Every structure is written in C-alpha cells, then in structure tokens.
Structure 1
C-alpha cells in the first residue's frame, strides 16, 4: 500500500497517479485510504474552456474521460479540478483526520484522484464548470481535504466554497511572494476571475503598494472597478505581449515587481514576462501555461525575472482563502457574479 497511490496505477507501471493514463477506482479502500461519496465536481477553468470550445456533447466527453482514465484528467490541457462530497469510509491508518459523515472538499487535483461516476451526469447541463453528480472517489494517505465551513448560507454558499477551494493556492502563494518585497507593485492578469480576485485581495493585504488588475473586456473592467479589489484596472488581451506590458506600465508608471497570471487561455507567458521589472517575480497560476514558452521567452527577452509555478498547495491555503472571502466583500461579490453568470 502506497501513501501516494502507486497501488492505484494501472497504466503505465511505475508512475505516480497524476502521470498515469488509467487508475483503479475499486471502492474497496486500503488501510490509509478514504472513500468519498461524490456530490459535485469543479472542473478547472482551463479544462472547462477547452471542452466547451471543442464543441460537441461536453457531458459525453467528460464521462468518456472519467470512464476511460479512472479520473478526470483532460488529455488536452492536462488538468482536472476538484470535488466535494461526503466521507463514506475511512481506513484505520488514514492520517487525514476525516470521519464518516464529514462533508469535504478535496484539495488535490482530479488528475490524480480515482473517480467513478454512476449517474451519467444526468443533472449537469454542461453550462457550468460545476458538475453535480453521483459516484465515488478515493483519497490516499498523502491527499489533502478540507471539511466544508459551517457558516454556509445564502450569501456564502456551498457552490462558492467549492469555487474558492478550487483556486485557494493562488492567494497563499501571492501572499508569500509579496511579503518578500518592500511595498511592491503587483499586476494580476485575469484580475476579474476567481483566482485573480483572490490574488488581488491577498496582494493588498500583504503590503503591495499598488495593484492593477488586467482584463480583456470592458464588461470585466466594469466588474472589477465595481468590487474595488484593485487600485487600478487595465484593458488588454493578455495574449498580446506588447499590449499587456504597455497597459501594465501605463497603469503603474513602470513594470510590475510581481506579476500573477490567472488567465485560463494559453499564450500569456511572454506578456507576463515583459510586464515584469528586472529582479521581479512572475507567478504562473494557470493550467493553460506553457512552461517551455515561459522559460524560452524569458531567455529570448533577456529578462532577469524569477518564474514560479503555482502548484495549488501552500500550507494553510484553504483557511487563508476562506478568510479572504469572509473579510473582503469585493471578493465575495465577484464570486457571486461569476457563479450567477453560469
């Protein structure tokens, strides 16, 4: 029995569950495993966008991915999402601190979580990245899960909690990086999105001198202005590196010390690098990022910047994100607007 789930890998042998092409979804748990009765999936933004733009029957495509791979692992984007459900059974050696009946959100990617769906996703229209469903999932000894908060109500709903948990690594990493600088300027590409809004709030709370949220449309700019999460807003397509750098520099009076990429489309790497000051840091918190493009682009631009991959986990990240939602009306309003749109 492996705490990282090696025993659940069916193909190919010798890789970790995230790299596997197929996982074993047997509901019989091992001594350190936990079985979750699944209630809702949250597809990550890059994966949902790709599936939607590919056309065809999105529900059938998601079902095919899950049934063939034993997990929700989009083969195009390489990403998955996370889920909520109720703990059904806990192995006697599980270190996760969960008990049967706990309603939890998994804080590990669906790309490495054994998952079986039993209802054909019949309650999902395909219009939202949140997918109501029935089935089971397996957590390993080194998985992560958070018990759902007990202050859920009409203002702070279960759907909102799920959306927050899906991106809770972003604000925690932004907070860590911003605190390494003395009153830095911070640019968030995709500032009106879920991870972007949390990143802006975290940057301000952590001592940023000024923040700018960059968005691609006037409607998103109006939304970001209304919730007042950023000191400044800027309009540009983050896939256009020259326009992105110009918009950030115009807003801040120069390049940003810290640039955070929260855009769910590919092609934003070069603009982020170009918009960042020498000695600054770029945080790529998007599964649409091409890391070779980022590295080679920075080299080609002779850009002396540190580039970080937001891996979705920082100790205490779930509690920190929930605190931002509770304490910052702008974050909560933006999440409500995003959820209502779907």
Structure 2
C-alpha cells in the first residue's frame, strides 16, 4: 500500500485491499491488507470480540482438538491472510468493535466511538490481531481479542442495541440473515405454508422458527438430533411438531418429517445435510440453505438424482432490515431467549 497521502481513490468493494489475485473480490482473495489507516470511504474499528461462524468453529475443533491449538490456528490464519477465513470451510464469522476512524467519504453513517457489530463476513474483512488472542481459551465461538478491522463503502454494520448484553446482541446479529429470509420465503409461499427447520434448536434455527410462525406458517416443524434438544424446543413453544433425526441421514429426515413441507430451512452446522432437506420438501417447494457447511454441488446433483422439483436458495446473510428484525424476534419471543440461553450454558459447561 502507498502512503496515506496517496489514498484518494478506493473501491467500495474493497478491491484496493487485495494483495494478490487481481480481479477478485476480498472474500475470494487469499490475502488482504489490514493496515488500519483508512481510505476515504472506509471505517476502521478497534476489535473487541470475533464471533466465529458455527461451521468454521466446529471444523477447527475437529481438526485441532484442544483450545490452545484452536487458538494458535486462528491466530495463524489471520496473520497469514490479513482476515479470518477458515481455509477448509471458506467461512469466517463477524465481529464486535468500536469505531476508531471514519473516512470523509464513508457512506455507513458511523461515528467515532460507536460500538458496532459487523454484518459482513470476517472472510472479507481486513483484520489484524495485536494481542495474540491471549484472552481466548479456544473453547467458544466468541473470541475476545485486541486488533483492528476495516469496513468498506459497501460493508454493513449495526450499532449495538443498549438494551441487550454485548454477547447476546453479537449472537443474534451473527445469524440475523436467517430469520429475515425465512420470513420472506414463507410469506411468498402464502398463508398456511408448512415449514421445517433442520437444526431448530440452534441460534439461527430458533429465530427461523419464530420468523416462520410470525409470517403465517400453518405447520411449523423443528428437526433436532437429540431428545434433550427436542425437550428444550418443545418447552420453548416455537414449533407445532418437534421430530428427531440425524440431518445427515436423508431417509431418516424424510420419515421424521412425514408429509413433505413447502419450505425447508437448513440451519445445521455440519456437512451432509443437503439430501435430507431435499427429501423433506414437497415438489414446488423451497429449500433455504443457511449453513456454511453446505455443499451446493451435493444439493443440486442430489435433487436432480431423485427428480425433486424444488427451488434451492443460498442464504447469503443479507436482507434489508435483517438486524432489527432478528433483534425484535429475540425481544418478543421468550422461547427464542430460552434456547439462546441454553446454548450459552452448553458453551460454558466444562
């Protein structure tokens, strides 16, 4: 990068931060420049917490095992790539931080001192870590750290709400695209649509159940892997039916769901759930994939292989108004709050 005085023209897409592979967007690039000096339309944040996406964190735990090794792996990725992008899943997460500097042409409406959650992936966010992740034990998706991050002109961030704890707000905003798109798809399907959420006991799953009900779904099914999780979802009251199956077993999923549904929402953070989602969905219905563990090749070829006439959507994490919509569901639904609290307890159980 040149000196700050030469930074007169950047790209709202962040192309000027790509260090190699010219012509690719920051998410696809291998390395980004995390220099905290802002270009005219950028915002620089002092990072407080990274929130790794569920699929990425699961993969890191499975590969590296102990917390210390997970911590070292994350630190190494950021040091090498100038961003947090899991080399296996390709995904990242998002972060919480305080605005340090705002370029004179930034369109984001943020001010120095604002505490914000980023609503764009860490896989495309220039990032430096300056404390070696010394305060993180490697056992949780939420990673306390010191460092800096950069938002581009086309980035998205939400000022943290004053009525919720930071950890809660970060967890809700991390998955806010799922309930917003679920709401849209269910409304498009029409009043009384049947909906199944694979992974209905998780963060994105519980919000998607609440969104489906609020959008007028006539039958809401939550599919979970264990009886303990099923009991928690039943107690939350977010679904008409709670069924048990391993989402990776397509025949078991289809049998558990019974009559195929018009909308299936996949919120499971493990690979191999594509075929079950297809079989659970009626012809003419829609499958929405929110998991970063999804193989879209498997989804497309699997649907073709069983002659399933289903529409398949990639949940890209952005729908206009998605942040406030998710926060409003969290505030309004005691069942959602209960499931989030249960997840938090599981995370901190030795």
TM-score with structure 1 setting the length: 0.97
Query: Deviation of residue 340 (structure 1)?
Result: 2.0
Query: Deviation of residue 226 (structure 1)?
Result: 1.4
Say whether 1:104 aligns with 2:104. no
**In structure 2, which of residues 173, 176, 196 is the aligned counterpart of residue 165 of structure 1?**
173
Distance 2:318 2:344 in 1: 24
Query: Deviation of residue 55 (structure 1)?
Result: 2.2
Query: Deviation of residue 64 (structure 1)?
Result: 0.5
Q: Is the 8 A contact 1:32 1:93 kept in 2?
A: yes
Q: Is the 8 A contact 1:160 1:339 kept in 2?
A: no
Question: How big is each residue's C-alpha offset from its partner over 1:95-143, in whole Å with a ceiling of 9 and x where there is no partner?
Answer: 0000000000000000000000001111111110000000000000000
3-state SS, counterpart of residue 161 of structure 1? helix
**In structure 1, which of residues 186, 195, 198 is the aligned counterpart of residue 195 of structure 2?**
186
Say whether 1:284 aligns with 2:289. yes
Distance 2:246 2:345 in 1: 24
Question: How big is each residue's C-alpha offset from its partner over 1:41-100, in whole Å with a ceiling of 9 and x where there is no partner?
Answer: 000000000000112400000000111000000010010000001000000000000000
- In structure 1, the residue matched to 2:146 is 134
Q: How does 1:48-87 map to 2 (within 5 A)?
A: 48-56=57-65, 57-87=69-99
Consecutive unaligned residues in structure 2, runs of 5 or more: 1-9
Distance 1:245 1:142 in 2: 41
Q: How many residues align?
A: 334
- In structure 2, the residue matched to 1:89 is 101
Distance 1:303 1:35 in 2: 47
Distance 2:40 2:318 in 1: 25
TM-score with structure 2 setting the length: 0.95
Distance 2:231 2:141 in 1: 23
**In structure 1, which of residues 305, 316, 323 is the aligned counterpart of residue 321 of structure 2?**
316
Query: Deviation of residue 265 (structure 1)?
Result: 0.3
Question: How big is each residue's C-alpha offset from its partner over 1:132-168, in whole Å with a ceiling of 9 and x where there is no partner?
Answer: 000000000000000000112xxxx210100111100
- In structure 2, the residue matched to 1:216 is 225
> Which segment drifts farther, 15-24 or 177-186?
177-186
- In structure 2, the residue matched to 1:207 is 216
Distance 2:306 2:193 in 1: 22
Consecutive unaligned residues in structure 1, runs of 5 or more: none
Question: How big is each residue's C-alpha offset from its partner over 1:147-193, in whole Å with a ceiling of 9 and x where there is no partner?
Answer: 000112xxxx2101001111000000000000012311100000000
Distance 1:228 1:78 in 2: 35
Q: How does 1:252-271 map to 2 (within 5 A)?
A: 254-271=259-276
Distance 1:105 1:301 in 2: 41
3-state SS, counterpart of residue 133 of structure 1? strand
3-state SS, counterpart of residue 18 of structure 1? coil
- In structure 2, the residue matched to 1:4 is 13
Distance 1:49 1:17 in 2: 24
- In structure 1, the residue matched to 2:330 is 325
- In structure 2, the residue matched to 1:151 is 163
